[in-house]
Amino acid sequence: MSLRGADILVKGLLAAGVTRIFSLSGNHIMPVYDALVGSGIEIVHTRHEAAAVHMADAWARLSGQVGVALVTGGQGHANAAAALCTAWQGEVPVLLLSGHAPLNQIGLGAFQELDQVAMAAPAAKAAWAARTPGGMAADVAKAMSIALSGRPGPVHLSLPTDVLEGEAVEPALPTPAATPMPLSPTTAGLVAQAIAQAKRPVLVAPPALCTPAGFALQRGLEAASGLPVLPMQSPRGLADPTLGLLREVLGQADLVVLIGKALDFTLGFGKPMPAECRFILLEPEGALLARAQGLLGERITLAALADPTSAITALTAAVSPGHAEWAATVREAIGWRPAEWATPQAPGAIRSATLCAAVNDAVARHGATFICDGGEIGQWGMAMVKAGTRAVNGVAGAIGVGIPFAIGGSAAGGIGARAARNAPVIALMGDGSFGFHMAEIDTAARHGLPFVAVVGNDSRWNAEHQIQLRDYGANRAHGCELAPGTRYDLVAVALGGHGEQVTEVAEIGPAIDRAIASGKPAVVNVVLDGQPAPTLKR
């Protein structure tokens, strides 16, 4: 039977297990929309292409499936491609499908003609344009397999309109699968032996393992080895407030095992570790092993190609418990927080630490999934809010993902154990972050995807303001102000959600409870006396 390329594309998505696509419509992808009718794949129709990618990103992190975004060509693709950076640095399997000018018009000045593949390539594991209608399903399977294999990450596939509308005989439908890069039992045994012989070993996990499944694997390795596993997914690296006194821990280490974690700026390129500290690298990319060799030289005692999941699984089977005293030292340092953070705030303007303490209580009270976004307020949230399921803006350091992440997280709430406990989504962000994608509250309302956005409203881009104060002086601080008194909660109401403004500490928790109870996308607008990001040092 002869089918359009768009129909074969959709059949390929179904064969891959896709049930939901985050999308913004446009001319180039109307054949795909037509093919999706009656397919069983839901379209979450967004208000901005970048938001569609961010939603797919959060969906992938929290569901364990490849997140799929579908946008139109030209400017639509350009908007979406910018969001790939967060998924790329976050090591998240995302498939960006973008409409594209017809192949038979390329070079002739086609409508919205653009080198989309070249635009996406720097922030993707692979990028290409489909060439034949009959190859569409194979293109999908290839793209998803690449996204899942090695170090996970985003992949881009452009969809020329003449390929979508062209016809071909229905092909066999391949099923995507990650190509494993196993760590051999022999090599895992050598790593385990090195850990046992070290006095102060440190185990480090990558962003790819900062998912519900990845955290479960980390807990398994901790139980088997007796050692904490330190997940790194913050652009602040050694100053990541989630990890307390990480710099102090690494400053004492005599062995650092990077389980798929790239040696990069987040680890200070290895310089903060003592000169006698040795490294073991379990890394899925040969180029990054070579890069690390150039940085560390003979300090690398063992290096092997392996994907993070395979590496941590093999290592868990090989290690034995030990290092009880050192493990206790590491746990104490990572969990350390200043005592004054636990001191109730005196009456007055709400401070960042106070807000995050209240959010932490609400997350615990409701068993919520926690989304964290923003500059200074985001760092307070990562330092203070503990959650079994979470997603943060990540190593890319790009803010503005909070609302799309919350919607993607709400959509992923229908999957697995989280659905059984009907957990809500609480997203913390600043007023600057909120402004990027506030229109997506309309998306959440239309699709019945509730969440609570807790907005720390200090009326400024506080991260940049703090840089100005620190580096140039208060008399040169300018250009970072936002309008005081803006009622972001009323934006939510206008777009079909629930909104409340909070000016008193005692009202934060009750306002979050009411927002969850509303069953709508909600904004709790907290008037804040913003603080600099926390700096953890004894």
Domain 2-169 indexed as CATH 1.20.140.10: no
Residue closest to 46 by CA, chosen among 491, 446, 497 = 446
pLDDT given for residue 481 in this prediction? 87
Q: Specify the range with the lowest mean pLDDT, choosing from 127-136, 460-469, 511-520.
A: 460-469
Ranges in the chain annotated CATH 3.40.50.970 = 2-169, 339-529
Q: Write down the pLDDT at residue 414.
A: 54
Please indicate whether residue 345 or residue 123 has the higher confidence score (pLDDT): 123
| The token pair that represents 88 in the structure block | 């790329």
The per-residue pLDDT for range 462-479, each reduced to its tens digit, is 888 888 888 999 889 898
Average pLDDT along the chain: 94
pLDDT at 212: 94
Domain with CATH 3.40.50.1220 in the chain: 185-335
Q: What is the pLDDT of residue 531?
A: 83
Please state the rounded mean pLDDT for residues 351-359: 93
Q: What is the pLDDT of residues 242-279, one digit of tens each?
A: 999 999 999 999 999 999 999 999 999 999 999 999 99
Are the C-beta atoms of 200 and 255 separated by less than 8 Å? yes
Least confident range from 43-52, 155-164, 239-248, 258-267: namely 239-248
* pLDDT at 417 > cutoff 60: no
When the candidates are 3.60.21.10, 3.40.50.970, 2.60.40.420, 3.30.830.10, the CATH number that belongs to 339-529 is 3.40.50.970
Which candidate, 413, 394, 417, 505, places its Cα nearest to that of 452?
413
Q: Which tens digits make up the pLDDT trace of 62-114?
A: 999 999 999 999 999 999 999 999 999 999 999 999 999 999 998 889 888 89
Q: Going by C-beta distance under 8 Å and a sequence separation of 6 or more, which residues neighbour residue 174?
A: 12, 15, 137, 138, 141
pLDDT of residue 349: 84
As a whole number, mean pLDDT of residues 33-41 equals 97
pLDDT tens, position by position, 217-226: 999 999 999 9
Distance of CA 205 to the CA centre of its chain: 15
Query: How would CATH label the architecture of 185-335?
Result: 3-Layer(aba) Sandwich (3.40)
Percent of the chain scoring above 70 in pLDDT: 98
d(CA 148, CA 81): 19
Q: To the nearest whole percent, how much of the chain has pLDDT over 90?
A: 85
Judge whether residue 497 has pLDDT over 60: yes
Q: Which of 517, 458, 520 is nearest to 488 (CA)?
A: 458
CA atoms lying within 13 Å on the CB side of residue 137: 20
Mean pLDDT along residues 441-453: 97
